[in-house]
Structure 1
Amino acid sequence: MTPRPDSWIDAPWPGNPRVRGLFTSRQGGVSAGPYAGAGATPGGESIGGMNLGSHVGDAPQAVAANRARLAAWLGDVRVAYLDQAHGTEVADLDRWDGASTPQADAAVTATPGVAACVLVADCLPVLFAAPDGRAVGAAHAGWRGLAGDVLEHTLQALCRKADCKPAAVHAWLGPAIGPQAFEVGGDVRTAFVHQAPEAADAFLAAAEPGKWLANLFLLAQLRLQAAGMPLSQVQGGGVCTVSNPARYFAYRRDRVTGRQAGLVWIAARSA
């Protein structure tokens, strides 16, 4: 088996040994062209990319090979890919048939060996874990999803499934577009500040009048905190996809590009 790339990020969960979390990168696959990995081999050939998105124009056989490679690295874990639409729908993977593609931007499950998975290329992947590994979840959070409460909906679904309070849940923020690269219009800022005045702290005036630099990581932290999660239980954040072309696909940077994944699952046995 091909070694797993060092650029992938494991997300450990303190006090939750049965939960596993992972953020992939653009490295480790077979995709070519704009979906390839950055750089070249000593022979001048492009390095294969780990594009996991089947909707971005990549060769279907390459995507299938990448997903098969991920499955081999994960072992006895089934990955539930979603049909994402920048919405707030949360899929219940305990009802998943194992073959279909749920239409949702988040998912929760209490079934060991089923990975909740979101695909991203600048949007923020957020992973959740309830105490004692009773349930896990993943959410795809761009600015539209954040403003529409996708994190709150995911947290509520997770807490219902695990019979716990938001204060007992832990979360991981994966790589996403950083605040120095995410320029938005005033309508985006207004959408957040209208809901919560403290969201103004997540926006800095850009060089162009009427434009703002938005901090997705801070916006997510503020939303989770308002939903009842202590910030001490929110890990990760701060890794920018746009400024790391060797590691990450980024839609804002490249437009035609692949997708990396954020995954979380309950292991059959604790480590």
Structure 2
Amino acid sequence: MTDSIWLHASGLPAEAAGLMSTRAGGVSLGPWASLNLRPPGLRGDNLDVPESIWRNQQRFAAALGGAKPVYLDQVHGTRVVHLRAGETPVDAQGRSTEFWQADASITTERGLACTVLVADCLPVLFSAPQGRAVGAAHAGWRGLAGGVLQATLAALCEAAGCKPSEVTTWLGACIGPQRFEVGDEVRIAFGAEPGDPCFRSVATPEGLPPKWWADLPGLARRRLRAAGVQQIGGGQWCTASDAVRFYSYRRDTGVTGRHAAAIWRR
């Protein structure tokens, strides 16, 4: 399900809700136009106007049914943090002042939204049965190959007391298989053999190293299914192909905003 501003996570239990922002509906200008959500306190993001980011974050938070988005300092790793009320430092205006260095989070509490930031990497949202626990993971190719989805799933199942086969997942927008060109090191990292449908060969001049079109959502679905997940939705949007709706780090050569994907217990 989509609208002009949000991608709504479909298929989740009624007790959970999730969405992903597009680049629409904010106040940032220039290459960050318009709903750039990356907190100004994170590394390397000192170009967009902090006040614009804060206003954008307020608009995003207003769409979360009263849940507070908890942003992470993402490092393309596999660490999962368990969010609990009172453990997310904010200033007097409600702005986050510290960030856990992690690429995924889960929670069993209402009022908190597990949130990841992306601009080509794949956001994956998780819900246990009846929304007893929810989680969000940031899956670039390094984190995906390293096991961030499996780590998030394991933490969620432990917290909710459920099996992977009972978990519902939803994939947000990321760079698509027609635009994600990678080197052979990425194919090797996934243990993919020649002919693997998630890696299509790119025509390159003779003598140059091989290149591949990688299917990030396809690789995520494969890993989730191998871990026992049966309910997997979403994953049909390409950030790099739609400059009107989405930021893309690769398309915009690194000078771009960030979307957020969040999930919370109703």
Same fold (TM over 0.5): yes
Change beyond 3 A, Cα 1:75–1:226: closer
Residue 22 (structure 2) pairs with residue 11 (structure 1): no
Cα-to-partner distance string for 1:100-137 (whole Å, 9 max, x where unaligned): 32111000001012100000000000000000110000
Aligned-pair CA distance for 1:75: 4.1
Task: State the distance in 2 between where 1:266 and 1:166 align.
Answer: 19
Superposed counterparts of 1:192-207, under 5 Å: 192-193=190-191, 200-207=196-203
Aligned-pair CA distance for 1:8: 1.1
Superposed counterparts of 1:122-141, under 5 Å: 122-141=120-139
Which residue among 27, 33, 37 is the counterpart of 1:52?
37
Structure with greater proportional helix content: 1
Per the alignment, residue 74 of structure 2 pairs with 84
Task: State the distance in 2 between where 1:251 and 1:131 align.
Answer: 34
Cα-to-partner distance string for 1:180-229 (whole Å, 9 max, x where unaligned): 000000011011026xx599221000122500000001000010011111
Aligned-pair CA distance for 1:12: 2.9
CA contact (8 A) 1:13 1:20 kept: no
Task: State the distance in 1 between where 2:246 and 2:134 align.
Answer: 25
Per the alignment, residue 164 of structure 1 pairs with 162
Superposed counterparts of 1:33-48, under 5 Å: 33-36=30-33
Cα-to-partner distance string for 1:41-95 (whole Å, 9 max, x where unaligned): xxxxxxxx00001243311111111111212233421110101011111010026
Cα-to-partner distance string for 1:227-256 (whole Å, 9 max, x where unaligned): 1112xx100012000001000000010020
Superposed counterparts of 1:1-271, under 5 Å: 6-14=4-12, 16-36=13-33, 49-54=34-39, 55=42, 56=45, 57-94=47-84, 97-99=87-89, 100-193=98-191, 200-208=196-204, 210-230=210-230, 233-254=231-252, 255-267=254-266
Task: State the distance in 1 between where 2:202 and 2:156 align.
Answer: 37
TM-score by length of 1: 0.87
**Residue ranges of structure 2 left out of the alignment (5+ in a row):** 90-97
Task: State the distance in 1 between where 2:131 and 2:163 align.
Answer: 14
3-state SS of paired residue (1:160): helix
CA contact (8 A) 1:178 1:216 kept: yes
CA contact (8 A) 1:159 1:165 kept: yes
3-state SS of paired residue (1:26): coil
Q: Structure 1 stretches (4+) deviating beyond 3 angstroms?
A: none
3-state SS of paired residue (1:219): helix
RMSD of equivalent CA atoms? 1.8
Task: State the distance in 2 between where 1:52 and 1:260 align.
Answer: 6
Letter in 2 for 1:24: S
Task: State the distance in 2 between where 1:10 and 1:164 align.
Answer: 24
TM-score by length of 2: 0.89
Aligned identity (percent) is 50
Matched pairs, number: 247
Letter in 2 for 1:27: A
